[in-house]
Structure 1
Amino acid sequence: MFIVTNQMPFSPTKEKLERICLTIIEWGVYLALFSPLIFIRNYFFPFVAPKTIFFRLIIDVVFIAYLILAVSIPKYRPKITPLSLAIAAFLAIFFLTAIFGVSFQRSFWSVFERMTGLLTFLHLFAFYVVLTAVFTERKQWEKILFVSIVAALVICFYALLAKDPLTRGGGTLGNSSFLSSYLLFNIFFAAILMVSKAGLWRVVSGVALAIFLFVLFFNPVTVTKGVVSALLIGAVLLGTGYMFFSQNRLLKKLAAPFFILMVVAGVLIVKSYHFQDRPFNLLQIPDRSRQIVWSVGWQAWQERFWFGWGWENFNVPFAKHYDPELPRTADIWYDRVHNVVLDMGVSSGVVGLLSYLSIFFFAALGLLRRAKADARGNFVPLALVALLIAYFLQNLWVFDMISSYLMFFLALAFIGFMISSQETDQTKLKTVPLSPFVAAVLIILTVFVFFIGNIQPARASKAILRGLALPLEQSLPAFQSAFKLSPMVKFEGPEQLSFRITGLLSQDNLNKELLRQGLQLAEQEFKKAIERNPSDFRMYLFLGRHYNYFYSFDNDQKKLDKADESLMRAMELSPANQQVYLNFAQLRFLQGRDEEALDFLKKARDLEPLFFGVRWHLLRGYKLAGKYDLALAELKELELAGLDWWEILETLREGIEILEKTGEELSVLVPLYEKGVQLNPQDIALWEKLVNGYIGLGEVEKAKTAAEKLREIRPEFAPQVEQLLKQMGF
């Protein structure tokens, strides 16, 4: 092996290799910035899985090209800076806390709904390394930021013009909150280019900035107040910082008064009653669901204060410290605390939180030094400091997905470029030829990461969706394929398969043997998932539910015993969760132990008496046990508590049944029949009750009108209606 010194010119082969690698890297980075645009409907979680896998595939190719470049030409090797070390330390701590957490596999892979496991963070770090090592000129970074702005513009137009409710307001990100977080970065990028460039660059950047602000403040679906608030705070800090670091003495003196004035104005605006009614009210007071989940997150963090539960494992302490009031907020499952401080604390403890905060510290410190050293060009570093603050503040209310993580690491790389020391004299660098052995290893690594980390999860995601959408004969093989393709499937696959198969049990025309195979496969996969993560409450809960349905299919008493065992374990893991008691009640009814079933329903009610959903289950339990007097009493209590049960067809029918069974007068029932046919004009049984009710009240003309209306709506029942009219004397 020999060293080629800097005095020797590059060989044509090496120059060609450098050009090829740089071309792959440059266009790969541009493509990666379009990842948020990827939205493919035939994937399980189409807004998440396709774009994450697309990003990781692109970065795999880019990183291999970069490694070849770095091995051959030392000037492209990673630069060791405080910021880079902070990011590397953060990832190392993430790995360590995940290893000692409750489920390393979940930490590494994540789930299809999020796709933000350690595997994705490794790709984000590789993205950062490539950007900071290869792109060392201002004009290169201006192109990169401009590409990001173009991608954001496309998404904005899609969000504004889309007619599909799935994409309207959120575009290809699927959620206005995620879109707002993504736009926050591009707003600052556009402002940076608008201020630092001239001519057409400034015009285009200014127009883009205006469009981003319009979408943020006037989103057609909902305004994300946390992001708006964070943006305005960041803008105030940017203005204050720009004045403070200005060479103009007057502006410098006005910095503090300006900041105080903005704070006072902000407080007055927030407290304004008139402003509270505005659709973009900036007072982001956490709703009750946030308060509850933050409390759960704090309890979870206290239990493992130093090193946390492991990334992506909040589901375990969430179940343990579950607050039974949560269902009243319409949310019963959380896998994030929705607060970056608590999320980091829960997942990686105070050690992980401090390492995360160190990234912001070293980035801001370097930028402020740059702003102080270059007073004339201080807008860009100050804007990046404001961006970091705004990003951190908005994450006190929401959480990151791949699109915002992509922007965050892009911003960190740009910050790394801004605060890096002067470029090293390239003539003093040595280059190392690329050996065939290293090239072979890199190719093998690329194939492995491509296949195991991305291609297989992509195929599995599509297989799950096929399993959910196709007929049973094709659904079962699709699920079988998904379980074999990727370890990710074990976190969500058993539940999806179980719900798919149990939802088909009431259909008489299906192949019973295939249904049995589906039930058995789901049972096996539940057991495998529990074996890998015995602390997962959700798996025990849904396995218990699965056994209840399995028993209804084959009447095997052993299934009920297994359901009892699974639900007992679920109760140990989450004793305050109403779902356990509801499934236990179903189990006891199947066992013919009605009184015990009612006891479980009462326990579920007592956990949170104002949760009407559980109380309606208790009402149904009374009905099932034949205790209609108790069902009526529960119905009256719910009505007094404010439940308008007659506004929903399903509960209206049940309420009517209870009132009929307890001998309620027709004067009370007829208005309910009228409401029923209004909610569902096709319901023949309700029409018949309405006609008979009118007859019973002596209102013959109304009975005739109702019968004629029924004949008009359902012509196929005309003979029966004619016979009824004759009996009425018409």
Structure 2
Amino acid sequence: MEKYLKRVIYAGLFTVPFIPFLVTGPLLFPFITGKAFAFRIIVEVIFVVWLTLALRDGSFRPKRSWLIAAFALFVVVVGLADLFGVAPYKSFWSNYERMEGYVTILHLFAYFVVAVSVLTREILWRRLFAVWVGSSVLMTLYGLAQLAGKVAINQGGVRVDGRLGNATYLAVYLLSNIFLTLYLYVRSDNRKKALYWFVPAILLQLYILYFTATRGAILGLIGGLIVGALLIAVRERRDVALRTVSVGLLTLVVLAVSGFFAFRVTDLVRKNPVLSRFSAISFEDAKKQARYYIWPMALKGIKERPLLGWGQENFSFVFNKYYHPKLYNQEQWFDRVHNSPLDWFIAAGFFGFLLYLSFFVLALWYLWRKGEKFSVGERAVLTGFLAAYFFQNLFVFDNLVSYTLFFTVLAYIHCRIADRAVLSTVPVLPPRSTAIAAAFLTLALTGSLYMVVVKPALAGSTLIQAMARVRAQLSGQPELLEQSLDYFRKALSYNTLGNGEIREQLAITSGIFFTESVPQELRQEYFALAQTELNKQGEQSENDPRYHLLYGSFLLRAGFADRALESFQKAHSLSPAKQTVFFDMASVYLAIGQPQKALLLLEEAYNLEPDYQLARVYYAVAAIYNKKFSLAEDLLSKIPPEDVASDVRIVNAYADNGQFRKLLPLFLTRLQRNPDDPQNNLSLAALYLELGERQKSLEVLERLKQRKPEMKDQIDFYIKEIQAGRKP
């Protein structure tokens, strides 16, 4: 029995390296959710099997080390931080987009414990590393297919993302596997033969890593290789061949970097989509990056809650509270600092931050501690990995795949240095008691998998069905709109981590349900459901400005302007410097006939960051509604004429206030840009008619008839009406 149980664990551990290939189309965020669900299933199964073995045989229990102690303490501290954070439910479960939270930390720890308890022989670790490397080679082949145009690059553009759906995620995956490949080469018993697989694997990994164009990972790799090569060159005394290779590698890296700087300002570099990203690195470039503003915001959040932080998944609260107006052209809802150490300082405070750093410190201490059995080459490669991984983490955040690789390496280091003494002193159980325990564990496994995998997966797939029916309604199948409500209800009935996303999508569809073409009874049914669910969400998201903006937009579409304004004002109190909140409040004031209040708000929004063109447009629109036409013209004069002409808000504002003469240059600009566009011509003809210039209106229509003969009958009708003194 023991042999078969061990095989189950081995099968699970050796399947994990293939999780990065999993993409689940029927689920939300298919590049994220499927991988997370698969990891949870595998980990929970092998954990229960391992626990059964550990109960009956003490040799399957983990050995002592500071690494496993630090990880266990990290789990405890993060749990406390989440419990006492600003949104405990969100911290525990996360969401579909990230699929992290405390539940993932628990699974990573379980994975670590099983790995260190079962993979007790060096050959098993080498085989596991080989599977990881082999899977990465398969991933590079997929990347080659993307470069060849045979397979789509999922995030668009030219940056290869493999089956991870994100170039940055692919980059850290390849970075980690490059060092695993180097480690296997260093550990190889016959390095000459190893070259036959080592060289192709490394070249493929480097090639695809290059085309991810991920600066942090590539710079981290360069730094890690330099660190590793230097350590071997300086400290290796016995393995002359390895030392020679390291000196050669170091020379190659130095020459490559020097060559890049020598050609940095040439077209060879500047016109290259990858190299140009590196040549652009400068202090001025850094000021254009979101991190330039987000990191100081994170420090403010750390100062506010220094000890245990805000809880996992809660950086968005810090981002909104300390939002910097210069971020107007960036993503408006950052949920990560884009710096893993700072992310953990925000999530788990000073104690969590120290424990996160302790993973690196303890690993290095064990690698270089006297008396350990690591060779210089092994120490150097693993040190290079830790350096590269930590460096690139200064600019990005971790994900499930990168976490798994990192803790796999830490688990290996633990196994090489761990005490012989086991952590647990619980007596082993006799066979009958073990069988009873196994039965209870199996029941617990079933319940856990239902909670952490089945329910959220079903909720996500049901939400996809609801959204598909809403989209189908837009395509001319109105009967499906009613069905979508049934699917929304079903998705919500699972009551799982997807509730927030489901309610958000339900609110977003208000723009469809509140149209005149939807039957009144269905609109009322939708409103009752959405109102109830958004009120429930409000109990969890009272301090989340995004929720209040969403709820306010829903109320505004439903015709409750006063309540919508209250919701927008609540969002403003939670994020006082975010311009989009000003826009929403001002829009309500304009809608209810209070343009003076709108003007004051939009003036404040404009002054927060005058370079923000949209803020300038809104301010100008409010000026028009307040009859301050000189102010509006001054504001609009600094915007490209084609942008002014194409902005419906400006056109409507002038039209609503009877300023038709001011519309003339805008309509002429539109026509100049696209003289054959029927709508541009018809709009200009209508404007001339409004201004009393009937002859010019007729001339525009005659030109349009010549360019669009297929519209002759319609245009002739307009011409006859105008000639008869009427407005068609």
Query: Shorter-normalised TM-score: what interval?
Result: 0.7 to 0.9
Per the alignment, residue 41 of structure 2 pairs with: 57
Write the distance in 2 (CA, Å) between the matches of 1:665 and 1:211: 59
Of residues 135-144 and 345-354 in structure 1, the stretch that sits farther from structure 2 once superposed is 135-144
**Structure 2 counterpart of 1:436:** 435
**Separation in structure 1 between the aligned mates of residue 557 and residue 720 of structure 2, nearest angstrom:** 48
Question: Which sits farther off after the overlay, 576-585 or 201-210?
Answer: 201-210
- Asked if 2 retains the 8 angstrom alpha-carbon contact of 1:381 and 1:418, the reply is no
Q: In the TM superposition, what is the alpha-carbon distance from 1:654 to its structure 2 partner? A: 6.3
User: 558, 567, 576: which is aligned to 1:550?
Assistant: 558
The CA RMSD measured in Å over matched residues stands at 3.7
Seen in structure 2, the aligned counterparts of structure 1 residues 195 and 470 have a Cα distance that, compared at 3 Å, is same
The answer (yes or no) to whether the contact 1:667–1:697 under 8 Å persists in 2 is: no
**8 A Cα contact 1:691 1:703, kept in partner:** no
The whole-number CA distance in structure 2 between the counterparts of 1:490 and 1:123 is: 22
Q: What is the aligned partner in structure 1 of residue 507 from structure 2?
A: 498
SS at match of 2:561: helix
* Alignment pair present for 1:210 and 2:203: yes
Equivalent residue number for residue 378 of structure 2 = 380
Q: Given the alignment of the two structures, is residue 339 of structure 1 paired with residue 339 of structure 2, yes or no?
A: yes
Q: C-alpha deviations, 1:323-346, integer Å up to 9, x for none?
A: 12211x332111111112221111
Q: 1:699 to 1:517 in 2, by over 3 A?
A: closer
Are the counterparts in 2 of residues 564 and 587 from structure 1 also a CA contact under 8 Å?
yes
* Residue number among 19, 22, 25 corresponding to 1:41 in the alignment: 25
Mapped pair 1:526 → 2:534:
yes
* Alignment correspondent of 2:161: 170
Matched, 1:87 2:80: no
Q: Does structure 1 residue 26 correspond to structure 2 residue 10?
A: yes
For residue 483 of structure 1, report the CA deviation from its aligned partner. 1.9
Q: Are the counterparts in 2 of residues 240 and 255 from structure 1 also a CA contact under 8 Å?
A: yes
Identity %, equivalent residues: 28
- Contact kept, 8 Å, 1:180 with 1:216, in 2: the verdict is yes
Q: Is contact 2:236–2:377 with CA below 8 Å preserved after alignment?
A: no
Aligned 8 A contact 1:666 1:696 in 2: no
Asked whether the equivalents of residues 190 and 209 of structure 1 are also in contact (C-alpha less than 8 Å), the reply is yes
Deviates more, 1:410-419 or 1:113-122: 410-419
- The C-alpha deviation readout for 1:605-658, integer Å capped at 9, x for no partner, is 22222111222233444556676665444322334xxx7516967579669969
CA contact (8 A) 2:654 2:662 kept: no
Q: Hey, what does 1:481 align to over in structure 2?
A: 490
- Report the Cα distance in structure 2 between the residues aligned to 1:656 and 1:157, rounded to whole angstroms: 57
**Is residue 40–residue 47 contact of structure 1 (8 Å, CA) maintained in 2?**
yes
Deviation at 1:402, TM superposition (A): 1.4
Which moved further from structure 2: 49-58 or 377-386? 377-386
Distance 1:239 1:192 in 2: 13
- Alignment of 1:719 onto 2:728: no
Which of 507, 510, 513 lines up with 2:518 in the alignment?
Answer: 510
Q: Which moved more, 1:361-370 or 1:255-264?
A: 255-264
- Is structure 2 residue 199 aligned with structure 1 residue 190? no
SS in 2 for 1:637: coil
- The one of 200, 225, 243 equivalent to 1:235 is 225
Q: What are the Cα deviations for residues 181-234 of structure 1, in whole angstroms up to 9, with x where unaligned? A: 111111111222233334765423331221111011123xxx011111111000
Q: Distance in 2 between matches of 1:111 and 1:118?
A: 11
Quick check: 1:74–1:430 contact (8 Å CA) kept in 2?
yes
State the secondary structure of the residue aligned to 1:41: coil
1:368 matched to which residue of 2?
Answer: 368
| Residue 406 of structure 2 is aligned to residue 413 of structure 1 | no
Q: Deviations over 1:295-339 (max 9, x none)?
A: 111111111122211111111121111112211x33211111111
Distance 1:384 1:61 in 2: 30
| CA shift in 2, pair 1:99/1:262, >3 Å | same
CA–CA distance in 1 between the matches of 2:45 and 2:175? 28
Shift of 1:672: 2.7
Alpha-carbon distance change, 173 to 657 in structure 1, aligned in 2, over 3 angstroms: farther
CA distance in 2, matches of 1:31, 1:683: 60
What pairs up with 1:51-450 in 2 under 5 angstroms?
A: 51-162=35-146, 163-166=151-154, 169-197=160-188, 198=190, 202-219=195-212, 223-247=213-237, 273-274=264-265, 277=270, 279-280=274-275, 281-282=277-278, 284-285=281-282, 286=286, 287-327=288-328, 329-369=329-369, 377-420=375-418, 432-433=430-431, 435-450=434-449
Closer/same/farther in 2, CA of residues 630 and 465 from structure 1, 3 Å limit:
farther
1:534-555 deviation digits (Å, cap 9, x = unpaired): 322221222222211121xxxx
TM-score (norm 2): 0.85
**8 Å contact 2:555–2:563 — kept in the other structure?**
yes
Cα separation, 2, equivalents of 1:526 and 1:200: 63
- Distance in 1, matches of 2:667 and 2:681, equals 16
Structure 1 residue 505 displacement after superposition: 2.3
Counterpart position of 1:5: none
d(CA) in 2 for partners of 1:628 and 1:522?
A: 41
Task: Determine helix, strand or coil for the equivalent of 1:33.
Answer: helix
- 1:226 aligned partner, one-letter code: G
Counterpart-to-counterpart distance in 1, 2:664 and 2:536: 56
- Change in Cα spacing, 1:456 to 1:202, as seen in structure 2 (3 Å) is farther
| Equivalent residues of 1:234, 1:387 under 8 A apart | yes
Contact 1:673 1:690 in 2 (8 A): no
* Contact in 2 for aligned 1:384/1:415 (Cα 8 Å): no
CA deviations on 1:693-724 (whole Å, 9 max, x unpaired) are 9x99989999866433323xxx3x23235678
| SS at structure 2 position matched to 1:299 | helix
Q: Could you tell me how far apart the structure 1 residues matched to 2:261 and 2:351 are?
A: 36
What's the counterpart of residue 549 of structure 2?
541
- The Cα shift of 1:266 comes to 5.6
Alpha carbons of structure 1 residues 401 and 617: separation in structure 2 relative to 1, 3 Å = same
**Alignment CA distance shift 1:663-1:454 (3 Å):** same
Contact persistence 1:691–1:704 (CA under 8 A): no
Change (3 A) 1:538 1:721: closer
Structural mapping, 1:617-636, within 5 Å: 617-622=618-623, 631-636=632-637
SS of 2:661's equivalent in the other structure is: coil
Amino acid at match of 2:171: S
Aligned pairs, how many? Answer: 686
Bigger mean CA deviation after superposition, 668-677 or 435-444: 668-677
- Aligned residue for 2:478? none
One-letter amino acid of the counterpart of residue 460, structure 2: S
How far, CA to CA, are the matches of 1:432 and 1:360 in structure 2? 40
Equivalent residue letter for 1:592 = G
Contact map agreement 2:65 2:419 (CA 8 A) in 1: no
Q: Secondary structure at the match of 1:322?
A: coil
Task: Report if aligned partners of 1:57, 1:450 keep a CA contact under 8 Å in 2.
Answer: yes
Question: Quick check: 1:191–1:206 contact (8 Å CA) kept in 2?
Answer: no
Between 259-268 and 93-102, the greater mean CA deviation after superposition: 259-268
* Structure 2 CA distance for partners of 1:161 and 1:263, relative to 1, 3 Å: closer
Distance of 2:27 and 2:117 partners within structure 1: 35
When residues 438 and 503 of structure 1 are mapped into structure 2, their CA distance, relative to the original with a 3 A threshold, is same
| Counterpart AA for 1:454 | V
| Distance of 1:519 and 1:479 partners within structure 2 | 13
Structure 1, unaligned stretches of length 5 or more?
A: 1-16, 552-558
Counterpart-to-counterpart distance in 2, 1:374 and 1:70: 27
Structure 1 distance, partners of 2:404, 2:102, is 14
Aligned to 2:474: none
The equivalences for 1:631-646 within 5 A come to 631-639=632-640, 645=643
Q: Is the 8 A contact 2:507 2:554 kept in 1?
A: yes
Gap change, CA 1:691 and 1:172, over 3 Å in 2: farther
Letter in 2 for 1:586: S
